[in-house]
Amino acid sequence: MFDAYVKGPLVGAVAALAFFGCGDPEVVEVTDHVEVSNQCCGVVFSRDGSRAYASSGAAVHEVNLQEGKLSSSYPISTPDNRLTDIDADGTLLLVSFQGASLATIKGGSITGTRVIKGNAINDAVLAAGRVYATSFNDRGVWYAPAQGQPSQTLIKPYGQSKTAGPGYMARSLDGRHVYFTDGLNSAIHKLDTALNKVTGTFLAGREGGTTIPMALSAMATHVVTLGSSLYVLDLGAPGQIPTIINLPAGWRPRSVAFSPWDNRLIYTLATYHQTSFDPETTPPQGNRIFAIDASTAEVVGRSSVPVEMLSMAVSPDGTRALGAGSGNLYFMDIMMPQREQ
């Protein structure tokens, strides 16, 4: 599916995207929104797509996807409060600057247990029955079993030979690999969860390796990170520089997600920043979701959305999305046609 991207002239190039006209397809339709008690800081769909959850600093909210509302809210019993992942059994993973906790909802209440303690924890994922969490100050990735006696181990990408700056994370759908950004070396590292060691390092570009959001394609063939542009990296070509995708002038990406169903589609929320004061050439300020075909580096759709969404999740079947911003959770239907893998 990615032959045109991997072998074509865009590899390692800069793809500048012309400003689109009114004929571009709509990406999403915002169908509803609900206010949460604090700034919403994390959204996830269950792995089967039947449920969704959002966190808002002091609570975890269970989302009613059919009615577009919160069905229940649970005060968080751990100091870790940003929701980042969920396993097949519905166990939630929450992180804070100091650690990572697992939480389960049963009988109308939520119970949580901290499984990793660290310094400057930035992100965490659940893979292969373990919790993996990046720590910038500890210069590595902590991992601990998701069940049983808590015990954590630190993995340093370069051992003692070089200093790393771990940041955001993504996992493959089968849990065999975890990827994380390295801001000090503008790199992305691939961690094998069977060996619990780093087995690959990829050049991420001038800004692409910094501690900013990243997303992994459904089939783990490509990863995209954000800076002032989008950096799309071919994971099958170690040493290859990433393709840089520039949005139209004035638009800066803020959050990103791959479609779990269509391996080519990247969704990115972008905010317009004033760069010109000519009303005839400057589009209105606002927020839009762009759909980008990674195989051609082209914008294939766009939609205006009410607010800047710093957290975004796409359902496993690729038909719905949730976005969090300005203290609200937004429900969106994805309008883009999906292709099977």
Domains and CATH numbers, the chain: 3-334 (2.130.10.10)
Both structure tokens of 20: 């689109």
The pLDDT, as a whole number, for residue 280 is 53
* Closest by CA position to 125, among listed 163, 156, 162, 94: 94
Question: In angstroms, rounded to a whole number, what is the distance separating the alpha carbons of residues 139 and 137?
Answer: 5
Residue 197 contacts by C-beta under 8 Å, 6 or more apart in sequence?
A: 155, 191
What pLDDT is stored for residue 122 in this prediction? 92
- pLDDT confidence of residue 7: 22
Structure tokens at 61: 């909210």
CA dihedral 258→64→104→309, nearest 10 degrees, is 40
Question: What pLDDT does 209 receive?
Answer: 43
Say whether pTM exceeds 0.85: yes
- Residue among 146, 69, 59 at smallest CA distance from 105: 59
Q: What is the pLDDT of residue 285?
A: 63
**CA–CA separation, 181 vs 172, rounded Å?**
15
User: What is the per-residue pLDDT for 308?
Assistant: 86
What pLDDT, on the 0 to 100 scale, is given for residue 142?
97
Structure tokens at 91: 């166990």
Q: Which residues of the chain have pLDDT under 50?
A: 1-22, 208-211, 277, 341
- Cα separation, 151 vs 74, in Å, equals 27
